[in-house]
């Protein structure tokens, strides 16, 4: 292992340890909401001891972590004070319906320290000379009726076959179950005057009775209730909701940034981080929905669990380690997707099946998290994986393990898992920022090099073009002189020769010499004006057609040919005007000289976003076996033409991002120039 690999490995391990240290410190080292101690020796109406809390032990914000629970029946409020004390922190499985009873004891009027105890509760005393406490009840699955002493104070959703007059003075009944959850605040008041307090502790107590029913596998209280001063309790609950909504917004912004980066950089590098942020967004937003009034509470909870499984599954994507070309992460990703499906299905199956699904989901989460950590360590030893991409999966794996093994606190702000997910989101953002900066630097480097290379190649091309023009001028001018001289001597020789066979041979040489002279003339014309270098501009093709028509009409008339125009519509193209005129001139002159035609038609039409210019004649057509646009391909039957004209024409049209083709049908030869419309 070299030094660089060792450093990469240490950074990944250190990231995991720091995340674990953060989770442990929050879970065990941070003092959360104080738990109300139980008062011993309080006997319920069934003769058994019940869990009770004295208001003397309450602070401005205290958690009630123990309740008296009776499954499968509804107790009479304030008359049946019983049940098995259960811890609300361990989230013991509850029955489909049942009763929770909270016993809040007033001060003992016979206590020798009553005066001092009453003075310690002054912060709870209001103008009506009573002690007032605000009790916050979290979501209760998934319909409930709540009583304080014997009076109905709140109802959420509807319990099936429930008759209110059986339990209080409230008149009414509900026949079918309606699922609802709602965060509730109840005012609990106690007499302050010593003489007004009942000597019997249960008679002087405030008894909060909760009847609940669920039609899903989620049952009972979502979290432990919180009691204290109205300001402190509402502030704590509001702070939880604000944190969830704020981090949901941060996750949404992170997702949008990832998508934006993918679009503007034309890359998929940000997709894994976007999916991780999407999972965290789901956790935050669905938990936030449960802090208020939820119409579909079971769906919100199942989607929250699904999002948690999705986060660890998405964390596998950057760890594309292969063994014999097989991606190792795929089996674990499949396991994660199965876990997501089971999370969605959990509330809609039986209690026994839900317990099995929860066990499977927890086991799958542990296995996936361990796989992510192992793959991150292995990838750190491989240079092909960027170190930055390994950090977010590492922190996400620790957060997933925290969700399995850390105990959920009463408030979100004290949750180790919540802050670990926040750490994942922060790491995700920093990784995306680093990746974006790296891509920007790489693009800047490539752009700079590309500009330098383009400038160098432009200079080289300019040099080549200058050399080409020099050679063309030499070929077309200097080599044409011997050809002209040969023509003079051949004409003299032809006049003096008497032998018929010799005259025939001299005529052949004269014709070939004439062809060379014509070819040199074509080259001279091409070298004189560099149409390829002409700048493109927007102009009306009718101007070019008019220039050709006016220039070549006399030639056509002299040869007994009608020159016709059909370009009645104005069409603007982005091309080279002089270059286009030259091409049209060449095509018309070819028809005049070689087509043996009586009619030439110049036309222009608009078709499918292109301008089609045509030069059409009714002559003999092209009989060459090869492509007539290839240089030095002959046109005539005896090979009397070098064919440079059409080759040059096609090159010129190509320099305007156009095409030049021909077709011979129904006795008419049609050359078609296709140019982009402006």
Segment 337-381, tens digit of pLDDT: 999 999 999 888 888 898 899 899 999 999 999 999 999 998 888
pLDDT beyond 80 at 334: yes
pLDDT beyond 50 at 288: yes
Q: Average model confidence (pLDDT) for the chain?
A: 86
| Phi and psi torsions of 327, nearest 5° | -65, 120
CB 592 within 8 A of CB 642: no
pLDDT beyond 80 at 568: no
The token duo for 403 is 């969700």
pLDDT tier, 221 (very low <50, low <70, confident <90, very high otherwise)? very high
36: how many CB neighbours lie within 10 A of its CB? 26
pLDDT beyond 80 at 467: no
Give the C-alpha separation, 52 to 43, whole Å.
9
Give the C-alpha separation, 232 to 34, whole Å.
13
DSSP state of 409: -
pLDDT by residue (tens digit) across 601-618? 999 998 888 899 999 999
Beta-bridge partner residues of 141? 220
The per-residue pLDDT for 637 is 38
pLDDT beyond 50 at 539: yes
| SS3 of residue 207 by DSSP | strand
In the sheet with 34-35, reading across from the earlier edge strand, the strands are 34-35, 61-63, 226-228, 130-137, 184-191
Mean pLDDT of 546-550: 91
pLDDT beyond 90 at 135: yes
| Percent of the chain clearing pLDDT 70 (strictly above) | 88
The per-residue pLDDT for 423 is 92
Give the C-alpha separation, 141 to 214, whole Å.
6
Give the C-alpha separation, 360 to 402, whole Å.
17
382: how many CB neighbours lie within 10 A of its CB? 10
Say whether the peptide bond before residue 142 is cis (omega within 30 degrees of 0).
Answer: yes
Mean pLDDT of 194-215: 93
CB 302 within 8 A of CB 344: yes
CB 639 within 8 A of CB 645: no
CB 98 within 8 A of CB 70: yes
| SS3 of residue 140 by DSSP | strand
Least confident of 104-118, 320-334, 485-499, 629-643: 629-643
| SS3 of residue 120 by DSSP | coil
Mean pLDDT of 652-672: 88
The per-residue pLDDT for 374 is 92
Give the C-alpha separation, 158 to 144, whole Å.
7
Beta-bridge partner residues of 184? 137
* CA-closest candidate to residue 425, choices 264, 313, 315: 315
pLDDT, greater one: 356 or 412: 356
Give the C-alpha separation, 167 to 139, whole Å.
22
pTM of the model: 0.67
pLDDT beyond 60 at 532: no
The per-residue pLDDT for 53 is 96
* Residues 169, 173, 178, 181, Cα dihedral to 10°: 0
pLDDT tier, 261 (very low <50, low <70, confident <90, very high otherwise)? confident
* H helical segments located in 315-415: 329-345, 351-380, 388-405
The token duo for 472 is 């063309």
The per-residue pLDDT for 398 is 92
């Amino acid at each position: 292992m070299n030094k660089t690999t060792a450093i990469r490995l240490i950074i990944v391990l250190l990231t995991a340890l720091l995340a674990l240290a953060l989770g442990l410190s929050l879970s065990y080292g941070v003092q959360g909401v104080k738990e109300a101690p139980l008062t011993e020796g309080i006997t319920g109406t069934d003769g058994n001891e019940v869990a009770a809390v004295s208001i003397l032990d309450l602070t401005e914000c205290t958690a009630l972590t123990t309740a008296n629970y009776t499954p499968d029946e509804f107790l009479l409020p304030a008359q049946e004070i019983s049940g098995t004390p259960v811890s609300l922190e361990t989230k013991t499985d509850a029955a489909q319906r049942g009763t929770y009873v909270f016993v809040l004891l007033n001060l003992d009027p016979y206590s020798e320290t009553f005066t001092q105890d009453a003075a310690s509760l002054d912060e709870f005393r209001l103008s009506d000379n009573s002690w007032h406490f605000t009790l916050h009840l979290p979501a209760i699955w998934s319909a409930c009726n709540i009583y304080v002493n014997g009076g109905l104070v709140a109802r959420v959703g509807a319990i099936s076959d429930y008759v209110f007059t059986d339990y209080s003075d409230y008149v009414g009944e509900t026949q079918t179950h309606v699922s609802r959850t709602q965060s509730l605040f109840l005012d609990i008041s106690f007499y302050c005057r010593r003489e007004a307090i009942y000597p019997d502790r249960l008679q002087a107590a405030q008894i909060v009775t909760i009847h609940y029913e669920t039609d899903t596998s989620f049952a009972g209280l979502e979290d432990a209730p919180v009691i204290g001063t109205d300001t402190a309790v509402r502030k704590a609950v509001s702070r939880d909701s604000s944190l969830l909504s704020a981090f949901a917004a941060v996750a949404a912004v992170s997702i949008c940034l990832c998508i934006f980066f993918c679009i503007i950089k034309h890359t998929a590098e940000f997709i894994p981080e976007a999916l991780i942020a999407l999972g965290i967004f789901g956790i935050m937003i669905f938990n936030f929905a449960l802090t208020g009034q939820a119409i579909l509470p079971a769906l919100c909870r199942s989607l929250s669990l699904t999002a948690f499984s999705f986060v660890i599954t998405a964390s596998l994507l950057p760890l594309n380690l292969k063994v014999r070309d097989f991606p190792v992460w795929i089996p674990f990703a499949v396991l994660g997707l199965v876990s997501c499906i089971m999370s969605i299905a959990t509330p809609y199956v039986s209690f026994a099946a839900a317990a099995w699904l929860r066990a499977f989901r927890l086991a799958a989460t542990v296995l996936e998290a361990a796989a992510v950590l192992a793959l991150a360590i292995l990838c750190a030893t491989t240079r092909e994986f960027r170190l930055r991409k390994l950090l977010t999966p590492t922190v996400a794996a620790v957060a997933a393990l925290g969700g399995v093994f850390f105990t959920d606190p009463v408030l979100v702000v004290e949750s180790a898992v919540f802050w670990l997910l926040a750490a994942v989101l922060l790491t995700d953002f920093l990784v995306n920022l680093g990746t974006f900066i790296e891509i920007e630097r790489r693009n800047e480097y490539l752009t700079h090099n590309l500009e330098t290379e383009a400038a160098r190649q432009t200079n080289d091309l300019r040099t080549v073009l200058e050399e080409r023009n020099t050679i063309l001028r030499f070929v077309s001018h200097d080599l044409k002189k011997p050809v002209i001289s040969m023509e003079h001597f051949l004409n003299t020789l032809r006049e003096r020769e008497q032998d018929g066979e010799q005259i025939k041979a001299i005529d052949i040489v004269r014709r070939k010499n004439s062809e060379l002279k014509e070819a040199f003339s074509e080259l001279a014309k091409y070298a004189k004006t560099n149409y390829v270098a002409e700048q493109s501009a927007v102009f009306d093709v009718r101007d070019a057609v008019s220039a050709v028509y006016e220039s070549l009409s006399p030639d056509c008339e002299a040869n007994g040919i009608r020159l016709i125009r059909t370009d009645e519509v104005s069409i603007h193209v982005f091309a080279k005007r002089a270059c286009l005129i030259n091409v049209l001139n060449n095509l018309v002159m070819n028809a005049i000289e070689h087509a043996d035609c009586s009619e030439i038609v110049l036309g222009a039409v608009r078709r499918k976003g292109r301008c089609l210019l045509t030069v059409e004649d009714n002559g003999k057509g092209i009989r060459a076996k090869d492509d007539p646009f290839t240089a030095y391909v002959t046109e005539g039957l005896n090979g009397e033409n070098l064919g440079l004209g059409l080759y040059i024409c096609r090159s010129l049209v190509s320099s305007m991002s156009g095409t030049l083709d021909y077709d011979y049908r129904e006795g008419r030869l049609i050359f078609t120039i296709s140019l982009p419309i402006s």
